[in-house]
Structures are given as C-alpha cells and as structure tokens.
Amino acid sequence: MLNDLINRDIVQVKPGTDLETVCRLMKEKNVGSVFVTDKKKVIGVITDRDIVVRYLAEGRPVADASVDDLMSEAPVTCRETDGVYDCIQKMKQAKVRRIPVVNGSEEVVGILSFGDLLSMLSREFSELVSTTTRDEEYRSQERKIA
C-alpha cells in the first residue's frame, strides 16, 4: 500500500529562499530534495543534483541564488490514494527518483522515493520466493510419501 511507503518527514521552503539555506537544510535533514511550497501546495522541487549539475558545475555562486532560479516548477505529483504502480509510471514518465505526494486538497503530505519503492519490491519478491519455494518443497514431499 502506498500509504506505508510515504515518507511524511519532508523539508519545505518558501519561494525566494536562498540556495545556501536550502543546502544547509539538505545537510541537516540528510535529504536529497526540498519542496518549494506556497500555502502547503508544491510549486517546485529542488534536488541536490539540480544544485550540483545545473548550478555549481557551471561555476555559479550559491550565495547569489534563490530556489526560484533553480527549482523544477509544477512538479508531477502522486496522490496518497494512488496505487504503487501508478506512482511508478508517473516517476518513469517524469524521469524523477522522488515524487511529492499530495492529499485531496493538493497539499503536500510526503515524498515517495525510488529507494523506498525498491526496498518494498525487494521485500515482496523475497516473500514471494520464500512462499513459492516452501510450497514446492511441500508438494515434493507429498509426492514422495504417495
């Protein structure tokens, strides 16, 4: 269920927040993305990759920038009622590793990451293998007894 995968401990900033503050927050909170929100609605996302690849690698000083200069605007979102498969499809289409999760009022309530999905799928496949292996062993023993 998607609800079990959503990380609700999100980092948000307001439009106009300087990039140094965003970098500090990312370090303090150990996160790779920060949501830019206005009245609890996501208007943009800024990632550690955005900062490095699209800003620092071009030799631009962080001190002179704000999130408005660098954020990805109008990000694709998932609703907390969406299925896991739907969210994976949205992430694939948008080519993102993290996606904001919103409620029915379009207010951000969490984040869903590629890593969280991978962990869940890994557990599910492991359980499937374990269950089917036990079932095969049981049937094999039944055949030997019969």
Per-residue pLDDT 10s for the chain (146 aa) are 677 788 888 999 999 999 999 999 999 999 989 999 999 999 999 999 888 888 888 888 777 888 998 898 889 999 989 988 899 999 999 999 999 999 999 999 999 988 888 887 887 778 788 777 766 665 666 666 65
Alpha carbons within 13 angstroms on the beta-carbon side of residue 60 total 16
Domain layout of the chain by residue ranges: 7-145
Q: Which residues neighbour 141 within 8 Å (Cβ) at sequence distance 6 or greater?
A: none
Pick the CATH number of 7-145 from 3.10.580.10, 1.20.120.160, 3.90.1010.10, 3.30.70.260: 3.10.580.10
Burial 4-21 (b: 16+ CB within 10 A, else e): ebbeeebbebeeebbbee
pTM listed for this prediction = 0.77
